[in-house]
Amino acid sequence: MQADFHSRDSGRCFLKKLLLNLIFYPLFVAVTAGMFGFFLFPLLLIRPLIGPRRIVRIVRALILLYGSIVIRVLPFPFVRIRYKDYEKEKKRGACVYVCNHRSSSDGFLMANLNVEAVQVVNNWPFRIPIIGWVARVAGYLSVRTMAFEAFMKESCRLLGEGVSIIAFPEGSRSTDRVVNQFNGAVFRVAQAARVPVVPVCLSGNQFIPPKGTGILNPGLIKVHKLPALEWEFYKDWTPFKLKNVVREIIQSEVDTLEAV
């Protein structure tokens, strides 16, 4: 009897997974091509008329819209997102958002933050057709190809213009609950630009999709935007201390969310 329940349950799970992947990927390709064809390409054609700065802002706004569609609409109802903002009432200017790295869907999930931002990425996202090209237009920063001085200068310029920076300082995805050691570059930027550091915790998307595969699993993804560390609070810390305190905050949230 119990074995019968189990096999029926796993059959249902398999069916959900199959449906999710069969529905998501064709729609993903269609939406990506549609966003490019209907919005981005025409925008680039009229670029000389409205100026490069406005174009970049519009492209970033479109990335937010695109990310929201990809994470909230396309995989629904198989994948659900629960977003929690610990500072709901507070309006903030440009910040450095620091997030743990769980899956290739992390970048899309940052649409939840709903801010004009530039992501710090490795080289590989730039190589994805359309997405990589749009990331370049939006001014995304390639941490692998830029010298630290150039990275610092460009990041401070963006923050000064009111554009937030989103980074995944683990570099590569953690394969378990342990948040990997952080690279300190983005924390040095926050200190130099005197902006708040906002820890963001992701949980649940380590299976959506799991590392090494593109197969999506149904599930619940939690995105928690945690209270910011203000510059006045951390200004006397070393970058080493700052990155480790932020890492501990995120680790503690992961432990809470994924407690067995």
Q: How far is the CB of 240 from other proteins (least distance, A)?
A: 5
Q: 164 or 191, CB closer to other proteins? A: 191
Give the angle 113-69-165 at the CA atoms, nearest 5°: 30
Q: Which residues pair with 154 in a beta bridge?
A: none
- Which residue, 68 or 180, is less far from other proteins as judged by CB? 180
- Smallest distance from the beta carbon of 65 to other proteins, in angstroms? 35
Paired tokens of 63 = 């990335």
Site for other proteins in 229-258 (CB under 8 A): 238-241, 243-244, 247
142 near other proteins, judged by CB under 8 A: no
| Angstrom distance (rounded) from CA 193 to CA 210 | 35
Taking CB under 8 A as the rule, does residue 60 contact other proteins?
Answer: no
| Sheet with 117-121, side-by-side order of all strands | 79-85, 219-225, 197-203, 96-99, 164-167, 117-121, 141-142
Task: Characterize the bridge pairing of strands 219-225 and 197-203.
Answer: antiparallel
Q: Which is nearer to other proteins, 161 or 248 (CB)?
A: 248
Q: Does 199 bind other proteins (CB under 8 A)?
A: no
Q: Is 122 in the site for other proteins (CB under 8 A)?
A: no
Tokens 């213009």 belong to residue = 161
* Binding flag, residue 185, other proteins (CB under 8 A): yes
Shortest gap between Cβ of 188 and other proteins (angstroms)?
Answer: 7
Asked if 144 is part of the footprint of other proteins (rule: CB under 8 A), the reply reads no
Sequence-ordered strand ranges (E) for 33-167:
79-85, 96-99, 117-121, 141-142, 164-167
Binding site for other proteins (CB under 8 A): 148, 181-185, 188, 238-241, 243-244, 247
